[in-house]
Amino acid sequence: MTTVKVQEQYVIVNNLKLRYLDWGASERPAMVCLHGHGLGAHIWDEFAEAMAPYYHVYALDQRGHGGSQWAADGYDRDRFVEDLGRFLDALGIFKATLVGHSMGGWNSLLYASSSPGRVERVILVDIGPEPSEASRRQVGTRPPRPLDFDGFEEALAWARQGDSWATEQRLRRHVEGSVRQGANGKWLWQADPTLLSTPLRDMQTPESIARYWRCLETITCPILEVRGKESVAVDDAILERMARANPRFSYVDVAGAGHSVTVDKPREFIAATRAFLGVPG
């Protein structure tokens, strides 16, 4: 068990105050973890702790999420990628391993393609360049995310509806790190409501899908896809196409996990990434 203690830190990037969790030891190789849409840095807690003896782990609350500032200049995909580059610059990180869940995986793909000399490895967590056929069929069928709840238990119950795999304890911790109580007593997401109410164009436009495929093809470092076996986000056909697109691509499944792999099966996720990261078991 590592003795490294997590520290909450802030940095100004692109005129935004961004929060990050620092599992630090500056002499170790850098690892930057990027959460998914509407989530936050705490989805990486167990993983970051396990990696801290081997990496200097930074878990970033991306713009508009968690403890980071909401963005007046919006949430275009390229703004997130610019933030990542400026974040590395601000902290003096020349080269890093990127670990990106869902939206964070898209940001990792785009950055690794545009800045190949600065990325050591990429781990994509349950995301691909395009949605699976099952994901496409689900578009528009799920009710929108509520923007507030009357109580914490109501928020927890809502989260459980979409995640039957996480333990009660881990899901509760996840929701505790995702909501806050407002001045009116309502429980609100710790994310800009604009983010939560705006559909992600990445899953809808042929142009953005084609862009992600081009990025995957051009990345020169090793890439690992970690798929939640119970998730429909990435199907076998997409995995096979990703493997054909880049010879440095590999993948592994985590059984009993949905889309939020690090929340649903944190220990199994750690085990699934050790060999790729060169970390002993």
Q: What confidence tens digit (pLDDT) does each residue in 14-31 have?
A: 999 999 999 987 789 999
Give the Cα separation of 19 and 35 in Å (integer). 13
Tell me which fold the domain 7-139+201-277 belongs to: Rossmann fold (3.40.50)
Burial letters for 45-56: b for 16+ Cβ neighbours within 10 Å, e otherwise? Answer: bbbbbbbbebbb
Using the predicted structure, report yes or no on whether residue 265 has a pLDDT greater than 70: yes
Domain limits, the chain: 7-139+201-277
Using the predicted structure, report yes or no on whether residue 1 has a pLDDT greater than 60: no
By the 10 Å C-beta count (0-12 exposed, 13-18 middle, 19+ buried), 7 is classed as: exposed
- What is the pLDDT of the chain when averaged over all its residues? 94
Prediction pTM value: 0.96
The rounded percent of the chain whose pLDDT value lies above 70 is: 98
pLDDT at 33: 98
Alpha-helical (H) ranges within the chain are: 45-51, 77-90, 103-114, 133-138, 152-161, 168-176, 193-197, 206-218, 236-245, 261-264, 266-277
The rounded percent of the chain whose pLDDT value lies above 90 is: 88
pLDDT at 4: 74
